[in-house]
Structure 1
Amino acid sequence: MDLFTQHQKQPLAERVRPKTLDHVIGQDHLVGPQGIVRRALAMGAVPSMILWGPPGIGKTTLAQIIAETAKMPFETLSAISSGVKEVREVIQKGRLRGKLLLFIDEIHRFNKSQQDALLGAVEKGWITLVGATTENPSFEVNAALLSRCQVYILKNLSEDGMLRLLKQAVSLDEDFSQREIEIKETKALFQIAGGDARKLLNLFEVVVDTFDKSEKVLITDELVTHNAQQRVALYDKQGDQHYDIASAMIKSIRGSDPNAAVYWMTRMIEGGEDVKFIARRLLISASEDVGNANPTALVIANNCFQAVSAIGYPEARIVLSQCVTYLACSPKSNAAYMAVNMAQRKIRETGSLPVPLPIRNAPTKLMKDQGYGKGYKYSHDYPGNFAYQEFMPEGLEHETFYSPGDNPRENEFRKRLKFYWKEKYRY
Structure 2
Amino acid sequence: MKPLAYRMRPQDLTEVVGQSHLVGPGKIIRRMVEAKLLSSMILYGPPGIGKTSIASAIAGSTKYAFRMLNAATDTKKDLQQVALEAKMSGTVILLLDEIHRLDKTKQDFLLPLLESGQIVLIGATTENPYISISPAIRSRCQIFELHPLSATDAQKAIHRALNDEERGLGKYHVQLQRDAEQLLIEKGNGDLRATLNALELAVLSTYAEKGKNKDQKLIITQEIMADSIQVKSQNFDANGDGHYDLVSAFQKSIRGSDTDAALHYLARLIESGDLISICRRLLVIAYEDIGLANPAACQHTALAVWTAQQIGLPEARISLSNAVIELALSPKSNSGISAIDSALDVIRTQKVSSIPNHLKDSHYSGAKKLGHGNNYLYPHDYANDWVAQQYLPSSLIHDSYFRPKGNSKIELALKNQYQRLKQMQENGLDNH
TM class by shorter chain equals: 0.5 to 0.7
Question: Is residue 181 of structure 1 aligned with residue 181 of structure 2?
Answer: no
Q: Give the conservation status (yes or no) of the 8 Å contact 2:150–2:190.
A: yes
Match of 2:229 in 1: 228
Match of 2:97 in 1: 105
Q: Give the conservation status (yes or no) of the 8 Å contact 2:4–2:200.
A: yes
- How far did 1:86 drift? 2.9
**Residues 250-261 of structure 1: pairs in structure 2 closer than 5 A:** none
Task: Describe the shift of the 1:84–1:157 C-alpha distance in structure 2 as closer, same or farther (beyond 3 A).
Answer: same
**Which amino acid in the other structure matches residue 63 of structure 1?**
A
**Which amino acid in the other structure matches residue 391 of structure 1?**
Y
Q: Give the conservation status (yes or no) of the 8 Å contact 1:158–1:195.
A: yes
Match of 1:357 in 2: 357
1:338-389: per-residue Cα shift (whole Å, max 9, x none)? 699979999x989xx9753212344578533421223323334556543343
1:240-279: per-residue Cα shift (whole Å, max 9, x none)? xxxxxxxxxxx9xx9999xx9xxxxxxxxxxxxxxxxxxx
Match of 1:206 in 2: 201
Task: Describe the shift of the 1:36–1:298 C-alpha distance in structure 2 as closer, same or farther (beyond 3 A).
Answer: same
Match of 2:368 in 1: 368
Equivalent pairs: percent with the same residue? 31
- How far did 1:136 drift? 0.9
Match of 1:409 in 2: 410
TM superposition score normalised by structure 1 = 0.66
Task: Describe the shift of the 1:203–1:112 C-alpha distance in structure 2 as closer, same or farther (beyond 3 A).
Answer: same
Match of 1:49 in 2: 41
**Residues 151-162 of structure 1: pairs in structure 2 closer than 5 A:** 151-162=143-154
- What SS does the corresponding residue of 2:195 show, helix, strand or coil? helix
Question: Is residue 195 of structure 1 aligned with residue 195 of structure 2?
Answer: no
Give me the whole-angstrom Cα distance separating, in 2, the residues matched to 1:87 and 1:25.
Answer: 30
Question: Is residue 28 of structure 1 aligned with residue 20 of structure 2?
Answer: yes
Q: Give the conservation status (yes or no) of the 8 Å contact 1:356–1:391.
A: yes
Question: Is residue 71 of structure 1 aligned with residue 72 of structure 2?
Answer: no
- What SS does the corresponding residue of 1:368 show, helix, strand or coil? coil
1:96-117: per-residue Cα shift (whole Å, max 9, x none)? 5443211101111223443343
Give me the whole-angstrom Cα distance separating, in 2, the residues matched to 1:414 and 1:154.
Answer: 41
**Residues 253-402 of structure 1: pairs in structure 2 closer than 5 A:** 293-294=294-295, 356-362=356-362, 366-380=366-380, 384-392=384-392, 398=399, 400=401
**Which amino acid in the other structure matches residue 31 of structure 2?**
R
**Which amino acid in the other structure matches residue 419 of structure 1?**
R
- How far did 1:129 drift? 0.7
Task: Describe the shift of the 1:73–1:400 C-alpha distance in structure 2 as closer, same or farther (beyond 3 A).
Answer: farther
- Structure 1 alignment gaps of length 5 or more: 1-8, 232-250, 261-280, 306-320
**Which amino acid in the other structure matches residue 45 of structure 1?**
L
1:259-312: per-residue Cα shift (whole Å, max 9, x none)? x9xxxxxxxxxxxxxxxxxxxx9xx99x9799864469969x99xx9xxxxxxx
**Which amino acid in the other structure matches residue 130 of structure 1?**
I
Give me the whole-angstrom Cα distance separating, in 1, the residues matched to 2:57 and 2:298.
Answer: 45
Question: Is residue 421 of structure 1 aligned with residue 422 of structure 2?
Answer: yes
Give me the whole-angstrom Cα distance separating, in 1, the residues matched to 2:39 and 2:419.
Answer: 53
Match of 1:275 in 2: none
Give me the whole-angstrom Cα distance separating, in 2, the residues matched to 1:364 and 1:63.
Answer: 43
Q: Give the conservation status (yes or no) of the 8 Å contact 2:71–2:99.
A: yes
Q: Give the conservation status (yes or no) of the 8 Å contact 2:65–2:92.
A: yes
TM superposition score normalised by structure 2 = 0.65
Give me the whole-angstrom Cα distance separating, in 2, the residues matched to 1:88 and 1:106.
Answer: 18
Q: Give the conservation status (yes or no) of the 8 Å contact 1:170–1:176.
A: yes
Root-mean-square deviation (Å):
4.8
- In the comparison of the two structures, how many residue pairs are matched? 354
Give me the whole-angstrom Cα distance separating, in 1, the residues matched to 2:403 and 2:142.
Answer: 34
Q: Give the conservation status (yes or no) of the 8 Å contact 1:388–1:420.
A: no
Q: Give the conservation status (yes or no) of the 8 Å contact 2:177–2:222.
A: no
**Which amino acid in the other structure matches residue 78 of structure 1?**
N
Give me the whole-angstrom Cα distance separating, in 2, the residues matched to 1:378 and 1:57.
Answer: 49
- How far did 1:142 drift? 0.8
Match of 2:9 in 1: 17
Give me the whole-angstrom Cα distance separating, in 1, the residues matched to 2:219 and 2:403.
Answer: 49
- Structure 2 alignment gaps of length 5 or more: 233-250, 264-279, 307-317, 426-432
Task: Describe the shift of the 1:340–1:82 C-alpha distance in structure 2 as closer, same or farther (beyond 3 A).
Answer: farther
**Which amino acid in the other structure matches residue 204 of structure 1?**
L
Give me the whole-angstrom Cα distance separating, in 2, the residues matched to 1:88 and 1:115.
Answer: 12
Match of 2:107 in 1: 115
**Which amino acid in the other structure matches residue 216 of structure 1?**
K
